[in-house]
Amino acid sequence: MNIQNYIMGQWKTGVDSEYEAVHAITGKPIGSVSSLGLDYDDVLEYGRRKGGNKLREMTFPQRGLMLKALALYLQSKKEEYYAVSSATGATRIDSWIDIEGGIGNLFTYASLRREFADQPFYIDGQPVKLSQNGTFSGQHIMLPKRGIAVHINSFNFPIWGMLEKIAVNLLAGVPAVVKPSEYTSFLTEAVVRDIIESRILPEGALQMVAGKGHGILDAVQRGDAVTFTGSAATGKSLKSSPHYLERGVPFNLEADSLNAMVMGEDVKPGSPEWSIFIKEVTKEITIKAGQKCTAVRRVLIPKEHIEEAAEALKTRLSSIKYGDPQIQGVRMGSLATKLQVTRVQEAVAKLALENEVIHGNILGESEVLAENPQAGAYFSPLLFVNEQPFKRLSCHTVEAFGPVSTLIPYRSMEEAADIVALGKGSLVTTIVSSDKENYKKFTLEAAYSNGRVLILDSTSAKESTGHGSPMPLLTHGGPGRAGDGEEMGGMRGITHYMQRTALQGHPDALTEITGRYVPGAARHEANPHLFRQHFEDLVVGDTVTTEKHMVTMDDINNFAELSGDRFYAHMDEKSLEGTIFTGRVAHGYFILSRAAGLFVDPPKGPVLLNYGIENCRFTKPVYPGTEIGVQLTVQEKINQEKRDDQDIAKGIVKYYVEVTDDTKEVVAVATILTMVKKREQE
């Protein structure tokens, strides 16, 4: 059997063999892996041209729905992936993180479609007035890059590693080539086969290189983007290539790092936080057999509790059965390959030169629950202790990528932060503490050397996703050794694949280009009233100009009585000395409310409800005797898909509300959101 590459619209077997994949538990052959003979210039150009063109034609909502459909499809096939995943040595829980965590990323990024206008590009921020009379304005927009994303992934998460990356670039409108590790590419291949067979993605939007992929990065051109997940040494070597500097190619590195977990000074044996700490450290050592880029490698404990904590961890680790995940009761599986066992043993040998072993042995040998222990890639949990963390530095520089951690005593929260920083940059550190002063002090001291800090206590533990789980809407990455990169992060991740461009011109031009009304652009009087028009019929820039209303002292008094807002500026003329006001001033919220009374067309029609207010500003005081009028303008339209057959067909309409006084000066502005029925619903 061959593990194949999917390139240029076909499944292709590489020339010869680069690696023979084997079952991590049984040692039996799985298949031959090779990418030899592939022409990467053609592969990448195929993706740019074939997949990129199709993706860029789609709007953000369309791309989001595409991701949602893909997530639902893969979810229906997930049990097949669990079966294949077991060959990587993973337990059911390990596989859950990889499989359902990856699919969850697709769902999360699919939901972000609601944050974008119904356009193939992103309107970034608010328009900027660049001239006194408002005839020259600016607006940033972001468009998909005309390149391809090349994702080089590690062996530990064959599914999550791929899906968490492509969810972002596909929503941005950029195609991808994924190159999983050859060691576990058989699992990635199983998922990619289903993705291709589903025909949910445009052809060329996703390609896969199963083998070692030597030469793929040489084919990268300006406009492309590279992401690399793996060892810090390999990643930094690739990132420093002049090739990327010359062509301006962004290279995002997410590297394995020496992450830490810190027990706060306030945590005492028997407390809820003590139990949380022991449980979380044990989990991070044993899940995926320690093969996670976020796994805890350094465990910091107050000096006076180091012995008790060590005994608690040893007891907990001793109770965990490890071996073949198919055997009932086994809670920790094997490493991914025998080669990985050798690498962990080499790293452990270096750590053992200056750190004391307090649990397990440096060969990783222990009782294994398996039919043939010698066939599997097993390594048992191992704990070191380092009593002199500022002198014995190997635990801050050497990573054993397996179930291996080092306990370190500390004397103060400041010292704990200094010890964490000796790792020269980590993806994540957790502080377990219920003392606000402790966790605040530590967090603000340690954040600079970490990409993420988890504050964990008994109030959050039940719902917390834990130390090892980066979240799709938050950035994943870290400084220094961790790679100096960022991925995911919701909108932040999407913009990584887009080019920001500043537009300058008359508001009419900016409105035409962006499809969003820019203040100062021409406004056409709506006929009929905007509230009488269905979603499809509304035109950006169409406006309702209202009648006038004279603000009176009775308005101010009545609004104060109704709202309960008796702020002195509205009610006490004697208290105005030293303020900007020359008399009692109307409430800003009265002005906004009265504006609604002027522009709302009351009878039942296509407008279903008021959805919210954005960017509300009161720009000039309004005194009794002032006449105000309103212009209500269609600013932007956002399509909404129906949730089911019974749902009402509708969209969100943003209206720009501008309130002016009798001198034609603006006294208030706001954007209101309404839900408007579509004509097809009638």
Splitting the chain (682 residues) into consecutive groups of 10 residues, what average pLDDT does each group show? 92 89 91 92 95 95 95 95 93 92 94 87 92 92 95 91 95 96 94 96 96 89 90 78 82 88 94 94 93 94 95 93 90 92 94 93 82 89 95 94 95 94 94 92 93 91 87 88 85 92 96 93 94 94 96 95 94 91 94 94 92 92 95 92 85 94 94 91 54
State which amino acid sits at residue 208. M
As a whole number of angstroms, the distance between CA 46 and CA 460 comes to 48
Neighbours of 296 (CB within 10 A): 26
Q: What architecture is the 40-122+129-256+492-498 domain classified under in CATH? A: 3-Layer(aba) Sandwich (3.40)
Strands 251-255 and 225-230 come out as: parallel
The pLDDT value given to residue 248: 84
415 SS3 class: helix
CA angle 660, 663, 666 (to 5 degrees): 30
pTM listed for this prediction: 0.89
Q: What are phi and psi of 8, to 5 degrees?
A: 50, 40
Pick the catalytic residue: 182, 189, 254, 265? Answer: 254
The pLDDT value given to residue 209: 95
The pLDDT value given to residue 682: 52
Burial of 29 (0-12, 13-18, 19+ CB in 10 A): exposed
Torsion sign over Cα 269, 271, 277, 278? positive
Residues belonging to the chain: 682
As a whole number of angstroms, the distance between CA 352 and CA 622 comes to 76
Q: What architecture is the 259-471 domain classified under in CATH? A: 3-Layer(aba) Sandwich (3.40)
- Tell me which H or E stretch contains 635: strand 627-639
The pLDDT value given to residue 13: 92
Enumerate the domain spans of the chain: 40-122+129-256+492-498, 259-471, 523-681
Neighbours of 419 (CB within 10 A): 23
Pick the catalytic residue: 189, 265, 293, 658? Answer: 293
Per DSSP, helices labelled H in 58-181 are: 60-76, 78-85, 92-111, 160-172
C-alpha distances out from residue 72 to 77, 107, 181, 291, 322, Å: 9, 8, 26, 28, 33
Superfamily for domain range 523-681: Hotdog Thioesterase (3.10.129.10)
Radius of gyration of the chain (CA): 30
Strands 259-263 and 296-302 come out as: parallel
Contacts 24+ apart (CB under 8 A), 25-29: 25/86, 25/87, 25/89, 25/324, 25/325, 25/326, 25/333, 25/334, 25/370, 25/375, 25/376, 25/377, 26/372, 26/375, 26/376, 27/338, 27/372, 27/375, 27/376, 28/375
CA angle 14, 15, 17 (to 5 degrees): 85
As a whole number of angstroms, the distance between CA 315 and CA 269 comes to 14
As a whole number of angstroms, the distance between CA 505 and CA 502 comes to 10
CA angle 346, 350, 354 (to 5 degrees): 155
C-alpha distances out from residue 241 to 38, 89, 208, Å: 22, 35, 23
Burial of 126 (0-12, 13-18, 19+ CB in 10 A): middle
- Is residue 254 flagged as an active site residue? yes
433 SS3 class: coil
Burial of 119 (0-12, 13-18, 19+ CB in 10 A): middle
As a whole number of angstroms, the distance between CA 101 and CA 162 comes to 11
- Is residue 293 flagged as an active site residue? yes
The pLDDT value given to residue 62: 93
